[in-house]
Chains A and B, each alone.
Chain A
Amino acid sequence: MRKLVKVGLLAAVVTLVAVSAALAASSKSTASDTLVFAGSADPVSLDPAVISDGESFRAVIQIYETLISQVPGTTKLTAGLAVGWKASNGGLTWTFKLRKNVRFHDGTAFDAKAVCFNFDRWYNFTGALQSDAASYYYNVVFGGFKKPEKDAPGPAKALYRSCTATDANTVIIKLKRRFAPFLGALTLGPFAIQSPAALVKYEADKGKLTADGVFQPLGTYGTPGGQAVGTGPFKLESWKLGDKLVLVRNDSYWGAKAKLRRVILRAISDNAARLQALQTGEIQGYDNVEPQDISTVKKSSKLKVVNRPSFNVGYVTINQKVKPFDDIRVRQAVAYGLDRARVVRSFYSGRGIVAHEFQPPSVLGYSTSVPKYPYSPAKAKALLTQAGLELPVEVEFWYPTDVARPYMPDPRRNFQGFAASLEKSGFKVVPKSAPWRPDYLGRVDAGTAGALNLIGWTGDYADPESFLGGVLRADRQFGLDNAIGKKLYADLDKALAEVNPLKREAQYKRINNYIMANVIGVPYVHTEPALGFAKNVIGFKASPTLNDLFVSVRIV
């Protein structure tokens, strides 16, 4: 027996050593025409119309294309499947000239009819597909369906009126309202154009809402092991959930062909595991590098960090309904009294930039001439005294608990930082907090979260309306049912209908100046997520709206 044990142990040790040696010898080098990229989860679906998560966006934007694209790494509009567009009828009619000689991956032609098929498909969604759980972005941008289910918005709320193919390469889309953000919204992955033949053949619109309220697709289109047919530079080869999603170069792509032969997307949910997989070379890139891991990536001679331009804002609400914050001098005192630079420096691990406006710099209409309020307790106190107030001025300041947002990783610390600087600036802070949902958000929306509160916003699509409208149209939050609000909303509505991009940009710059001159709130941070890559991966530009294209990426 003893001998047996000895032999067994010896055999085990020998096997292990042999294995290690063999592995060390054969440590594989990755094929230089294949990029392996890790996200934190599998995509939900490859049917763009029913996605709203970043992992699905990443896969979809390689396979499909939108009518209007973005210049890589920016939110600037450029030709996509449409080579030109113009508005008429005061912005209610949009004419798109389509790119010629484009084919879907299934060989069918991309033409005006295919475009209208897609638009009509969204508008005619029925049943489960109308749920926010399925068509979130359609609901946000287009807002209504032809035949609404119970509780769903109907044609009266819809932006879309009709789509007409006047010839093979011309599409006329009519809207019910003037809505200039339409163009920016069309760059979103969920509005990518799909092959009508494939959508029908593989039953993309078959699905149900389960008893748990989950949308469950019943066709194979866009599901693991199923199909996804677009016009993009990569084609879907295979998708096995939990394993990998393989994209291969589309050799009959109409534009500059992809440099990579294959892109493999895989899911690694653990942050540390993603970093280590990058270090071992099992992947060549991953999204959402944790702030504490950035220095590790930067220090490595083989790795690098790529920054994603910010698409969010963290801000302090000022409620003008609460006295004395209806006085502009008091609001200015708040702006001067918030040490934004210090909070951003201390609590964002180098991932935050100080915000001066409610929209990030990457979005149209960002103004460089807004009034800025650098931290100055002296100025703050002077303003409060001018306003005839006795120091310190008591202020109820709310912050949320049990929550971390990209723009606010630790609300309590932000609060403490701000409270300290306000106390030095002539205020006496009364701290108040509530759990994020539903208490805190409910209070903020209702305007009952004190005079000041901490909150933020992430944009839906690349248009100033998605920020300024999204944040400031909540009038009760800011107590804006006054003259300032009236002018602001009139200006926002005017800009919403302006179809000339240059005029629009000028309008939003003016609005941003107006917002900050009146200190409607105090934006303090935009955060920049980071991606990690192997150094030999070049040509990648991170998009603020997650339109991360791999078409120009190379491995050298």
Chain B
Amino acid sequence: MLRFTVRRLLLLVPVLIGLSILIFVWVRALPGSPAESLLGERADEQSIAQMRDQLGLDDPFPVQYGRYLKTTFVDGNLGVSIASRRPITEEIKERFPATFELTFAAGLFAMLFGIPLGFIAAKRYGTVVDHGSLVLSLVGISIPIFFLAILLKYLFAVKLGWFPSVGRQDVLIDAEHPTNFYVLDGIITRNWEAAWDAVMHLVLPAIALGSIPLAVIARITRASVLDVQNEDYVRTARAKGLPPRTVDGRHVMRNAMLPVATVIGLQVGLLLSGAVLTETVFAIPGVGTWITEAIHNRDYPVLQGGILFIAVIVVFVNLLVDVSYGLLNPRIRLAGR
């Protein structure tokens, strides 16, 4: 198991190098240049040329890339945001908790509703319930996140007023934020109003963001349960006279959950990318809005640092999924040897 994990970790190195090259090239391929975004509208050509020189933007690409690699990976310095003038690592520390909270809530929502939905559909295979759940999950997969977000917001926030429409917390609430995880902060500081309010702010964004993973999970669960249900050992269990609840719980679900677990892991990347849109629509000050604003402001250091950060997170989550899958299913581990 250790060797498997180490091997997977080593594989990360080329992945990260590839990523850093992609991000580096992509950011530089954007229209405009960092010198212009720094100096603003009125800058004349001479000062732009000076700034280009100062920033080394006229150096050959490999030289620039080498410099970037050194500051990013050797010095561990992601730079300073043009827009906020603050170190990028500091901003990530403040903003990532918002994104984490949102993706966590969305993932939770997707699992809590997706698994039972898939299970019920499989158990009622071929009935109205099954077809209904199929249609529902098809709709879930097809509706773009941002559209669903706008729809939910319009209905439940603007029209009905049941949920707040923007942000992470009502600004009129006085709350302390020792960890920047607002729900957790409310609990730690025993400010129940703040914690509850933070949860309320998560409901609509989590539903919007969780809709696609929910549909995917429901479909995989359904297919997997259908598969497992017809396995010999399930038939044997039934034949032994075990009550249906025990058969479902111990034999069907436990085995059916294997592919579902993988899918859940894979959804994390989707959740993080979806968070960019959801955060923008609900004005949640997370990494997603941050990157969107950075594109808008041509905030190159943020784009470089922020995207690298997200990419690394996704890569690591996938690694965790691989490793945990190895734990769940010994066959994978063996193959790794």
Chain A residues within CB distance 8 Å of chain B: 1-5, 8-9, 12, 19-20, 23-24, 27-28, 30-31, 34, 36, 41-42, 44-45, 52, 132-133, 136, 151, 210-217, 223-224, 240-244, 264, 266-270, 272-274, 276-277, 279-280, 282-283, 402, 435, 437-438, 442
Measured between beta carbons, the chain B residues less than 8 angstroms from A44 are 83-85
Measured between beta carbons, the chain A residues less than 8 angstroms from B163 are 20, 23
Since A214-B79, A273-B282 are in contact, a sample of 5 more A-B pairs with Cβ atoms closer than 8 Å, ordered by chain A residue number, is A36-B172, A210-B301, A243-B169, A269-B283, A277-B166
Q: Mark B143-184, 1 if CB is under 8 A from A, else 0.
A: 000000010011001101111111111111000010000000
Contact of B248 among A1, A36, A213, A243 (CB under 8 A): A1
Are B168's CB and A243's CB within 8 A?
yes
Chain A binder among B44-52, B226-234, B323-331? B44-52
Tell me which residues from 78 to 121 in chain B have a Cβ below 8 Å from any Cβ of chain A.
Answer: 79-87, 91, 94-95, 98, 112-113, 116, 119-120
Roughly how many angstroms separate A4 CA and B116 CA in the complex, as a whole number? 9
Whether B35 is near chain A, meaning CB under 8 Å from some CB there, is yes
Tell me which residues from 244 to 265 in chain B have a Cβ below 8 Å from any Cβ of chain A.
Answer: 244-245, 248-249, 252-253
Q: How many residues of chain B get a CB closer than 8 Å to chain A's CBs?
A: 75
Are B162's CB and A20's CB within 8 A?
yes
Measured between beta carbons, the chain B residues less than 8 angstroms from A151 are 47, 50
Are B95's CB and A242's CB within 8 A?
yes
Whether B127 is near chain A, meaning CB under 8 Å from some CB there, is no
What are 22 contact pairs spanning A and B, CB under 8 A? Answer: A1-B245, A8-B116, A28-B170, A132-B39, A132-B40, A133-B39, A151-B50, A211-B55, A212-B80, A212-B300, A214-B85, A224-B86, A264-B172, A266-B167, A274-B283, A276-B158, A277-B283, A282-B165, A282-B171, A283-B166, A438-B45, A438-B48
Are A270's CB and B283's CB within 8 A?
yes
Roughly how many angstroms separate A36 CA and B36 CA in the complex, as a whole number? 34
B163 to chain A, nearest CB (A): 7
Contact of A42 among B84, B113, B280, B301 (CB under 8 A): B84
Roughly how many angstroms separate A244 CA and B43 CA in the complex, as a whole number? 32
Are B301's CB and A272's CB within 8 A?
no
Among A8, A52, A213, A241: residue with most chain B CB under 10 A: A213
A17 to chain B, nearest CB (A): 10
Minimum CB distance partner of A9 in chain B: B116
Chain A binder among B6-14, B132-140, B285-293, B312-320? B285-293
Are B248's CB and A214's CB within 8 A?
no
Measured between beta carbons, the chain B residues less than 8 angstroms from A277 are 165-166, 283
Are A214's CB and B293's CB within 8 A?
no
Minimum CB distance partner of A1 in chain B: B248
Dominant secondary structure at the B interface: helix
Measured between beta carbons, the chain A residues less than 8 angstroms from B80 are 210, 212, 214, 216
Are A272's CB and B150's CB within 8 A?
yes
Whether B274 is near chain A, meaning CB under 8 Å from some CB there, is no
Are A241's CB and B86's CB within 8 A?
yes
Measured between beta carbons, the chain A residues less than 8 angstroms from B244 are 1-2
Minimum CB distance partner of B293 in chain A: A269
B140 to chain A, nearest CB (A): 16
A266 to chain B, nearest CB (A): 6
Are A215's CB and B253's CB within 8 A?
no
B313 to chain A, nearest CB (A): 19
Q: Mark B198-222, 1 if CB is under 8 A from A, else 0.
A: 0010010000000000000000000
Are B161's CB and A132's CB within 8 A?
no
A37 to chain B, nearest CB (A): 10
Roughly how many angstroms separate A283 CA and B253 CA in the complex, as a whole number? 47
Are A241's CB and B83's CB within 8 A?
no
Roughly how many angstroms separate A4 CA and B84 CA in the complex, as a whole number? 50
Are A19's CB and B200's CB within 8 A?
yes
Measured between beta carbons, the chain A residues less than 8 angstroms from B50 are 151
Measured between beta carbons, the chain B residues less than 8 angstroms from A244 are 171
Measured between beta carbons, the chain B residues less than 8 angstroms from A280 are 157-158, 161, 164-165
Roughly how many angstroms separate A216 CA and B165 CA in the complex, as a whole number? 33
Are B40's CB and A52's CB within 8 A?
yes
A52 to chain B, nearest CB (A): 7
Whether B38 is near chain A, meaning CB under 8 Å from some CB there, is yes
Minimum CB distance partner of A214 in chain B: B80
Tell me which residues from 16 to 53 in chain B have a Cβ below 8 Å from any Cβ of chain A.
Answer: 31-32, 34-36, 38-40, 43, 45, 47-48, 50-51
Are B119's CB and A5's CB within 8 A?
yes
B141 to chain A, nearest CB (A): 21
Minimum CB distance partner of A265 in chain B: B171
Measured between beta carbons, the chain B residues less than 8 angstroms from A5 are 116, 119-120
Roughly how many angstroms separate A276 CA and B153 CA in the complex, as a whole number? 9
Contact of A276 among B47, B165, B248 (CB under 8 A): B165
Are B85's CB and A217's CB within 8 A?
yes
Measured between beta carbons, the chain B residues less than 8 angstroms from A12 are 112-113
Measured between beta carbons, the chain A residues less than 8 angstroms from B83 are 41, 44
Roughly how many angstroms separate A140 CA and B84 CA in the complex, as a whole number? 22
Measured between beta carbons, the chain B residues less than 8 angstroms from A210 are 79-80, 301
Measured between beta carbons, the chain A residues less than 8 angstroms from B98 are 242
Measured between beta carbons, the chain B residues less than 8 angstroms from A8 are 112, 116
Among B153, B158, B282, B283: residue with most chain A CB under 10 A: B283
Among A3, A217, A223, A269: residue with most chain B CB under 10 A: A269
Roughly how many angstroms separate A336 CA and B82 CA in the complex, as a whole number? 45
B322 to chain A, nearest CB (A): 29
Whether B71 is near chain A, meaning CB under 8 Å from some CB there, is yes
Minimum CB distance partner of A50 in chain B: B85
Are B54's CB and A213's CB within 8 A?
yes
Measured between beta carbons, the chain B residues less than 8 angstroms from A223 are 86
Measured between beta carbons, the chain B residues less than 8 angstroms from A28 are 170, 172
Minimum CB distance partner of B39 in chain A: A132
Roughly how many angstroms separate A512 CA and B158 CA in the complex, as a whole number? 49
Roughly how many angstroms separate A435 CA and B31 CA in the complex, as a whole number? 10
A433 to chain B, nearest CB (A): 16
A250 to chain B, nearest CB (A): 20
Whether B195 is near chain A, meaning CB under 8 Å from some CB there, is no
Contact of A282 among B31, B113, B167 (CB under 8 A): B167
Are B112's CB and A214's CB within 8 A?
no
Are B249's CB and A1's CB within 8 A?
yes
Measured between beta carbons, the chain A residues less than 8 angstroms from B43 are 132
Whether B333 is near chain A, meaning CB under 8 Å from some CB there, is no
Are A273's CB and B166's CB within 8 A?
yes
Roughly how many angstroms separate A373 CA and B296 CA in the complex, as a whole number? 39
Are B112's CB and A19's CB within 8 A?
no
Are B285's CB and A243's CB within 8 A?
yes
